[in-house]
Chains A and B, each alone.
Chain A
Amino acid sequence: MYRIVKKQVLNPQVVLMEIEAPAVAAKCQPGQFTVLRVNEQGERIPLTVADFDREKGTVTIIFQIVGKTTMLLADQEEGGFITDFVGPLGRASELEGLKKVAVIGGGLGCAIAYPQAKALHEMGAEVDVVAGFRDKDLIILQDEMKAACTNYYLMTDDGSAGEHGFVTNKLESLLKAGNQYDVVIAIGPMIMMKFVCAVTKPFNQKTIVSMNTIMVDGTGMCGCCRLTVGGETKFACVDGPDFDGHLVDFEEAMRRSKMYLDQEKAAIEEYKKSHECNLMKGVK
């Protein structure tokens, strides 16, 4: 059992939890993830290591409430326990030697990108962060990100905060202005990462994306996380989750992520019926 040391609601859809897991905390690196189960009957879901404290032996996860398991997790209280927490899984991001980097975070992707921005900033790299959200109420980690970068650009789809527009608009103007990055790191919904790659491609700008495929074990034994990268089949959990975005077959990856859509919808409805989820109040 793994204790929930801290729980914080970042916005109506996003929750932060600090989990006591000393073995994971001792070894994890930016870019790696964990797989957890909330209870004995729960599904195994992957969540990125958003932060860690080696001394306290804790790992921070930040997750968006999108379905049954994330709802159930959000309903757990501070001081409570979750059944399983495995990690650190996947390859750590390759940050060594990077001097100038753009980090593009879409919505919750900002949480996944945060440890990388922070590590790069601590290494002395120049870090441009472009953070995008649907509207001002969904903004997360603004202060943290600002403290972990050189330039912070905030975008909202409706213009309710920061600049009006998508992250791709800002990235394009940065590239057009002559900025050249050792690498652009894009993390967010697959569709966003796909468009970021479309923007960077003409500039021949190396772009790394973080592929959030469906997973079961997270150790390379089931193959359900497979995707095509540069014409080859790769397992996101062991070969990734970071890949060269210009080589990823996004159409296939987006299609595969819908494998269980009908059942996921049914599970959400059932859960909502049987539980009064406080966090979901006011959320579509």
Chain B
Amino acid sequence: MTVLEATGRPRVGVVGGGSWGTVLAHLAASNGFPVTLWMRDDEAVAALNATRRNAKYLPDLDLHPGLTATTDLASLGTHCGVILVVVPSHALRETMAVLGDTLDGSHILIHAIKGIEPDSFMRMSQILLEETCCKKVGVLSGPNLAKEVALGHPSATVIASGYQEVISAGSEILRSKAFRVYGNPDVVGTEIGGSLKNIMAIASGMADGLGFGDNTKALLLTRGLAEIMRLGVGFGADPMTFSGLSGIGDLMATCFSPLSRNYQVGNRLAKGESLEAIQADMRQVAEGVRTTRTVARYARTNGIYMPITEGIYRIVYEGATPKEALSGLLDVSRNPYEGDAAKRAAGVP
């Protein structure tokens, strides 16, 4: 409890009651922390407080009694010293604009959101810094399929922050015998790895949907990681971060798991369904769809060689067929290194 004592506020806040937000709130409560879980929907809050279940996202998980749901976002900051933020990436700004009114410099904010803001190309932690006065900001990311964590399967995650204090706080609140928390000072690499792997998950689902085998998948994973790294290092990420849990670890989980929403999108696209139809019957957002557009456009504008992202973009947004776009990756007429070489040659200050 030392973490909360230092902040002078008695509770942990969780903003966003999707499956991952609910599981994180449950983990914190199970560790003995009083938790306030904010959800947008009145009825969902009432139902959760009455039944101790999140019927929509995690109907089978009995939530810890230390967890209370609320719709009152504005006052969350007054009694929560550490706040985990788990809303969809596109809702982050508006959420923080409200929450930010009750935050001060002592608050610790940790987001567990995978996405990059379109146009501005801002990472989620940058949005937290822009919408609030908080500096003690971090990101939680790793191979964490919410359902598996809820079932208590051994899993691990990474909390990245420039502030050791943030890592300790997040770790103290969330860690358990079945859930390990690692720390990393590299926020950029952790955020980029977590966000871009969703693109690779779509590709991976597509490969399965087209009936390709393990060779193709291994190709997608390794070359996918290479292009994630290429972009990340350009933003100042530590390349080693990508070989860790929040990099290759997360990539493997999402690309191999049919539980992953992004994988499902790819898989169904490959089988000929339209994006609209798929999105219409998914309960939660597949962040990878938006991320693909954001990243592909950024890569095009800035001349970064990202063939897999480019291929997925052409399928999802430009009507290319999965087969031709994925096969394009194996086109030997294109020298896979020329993108990098061009950048090096252009290295004029």
A and B are interacting partners: no
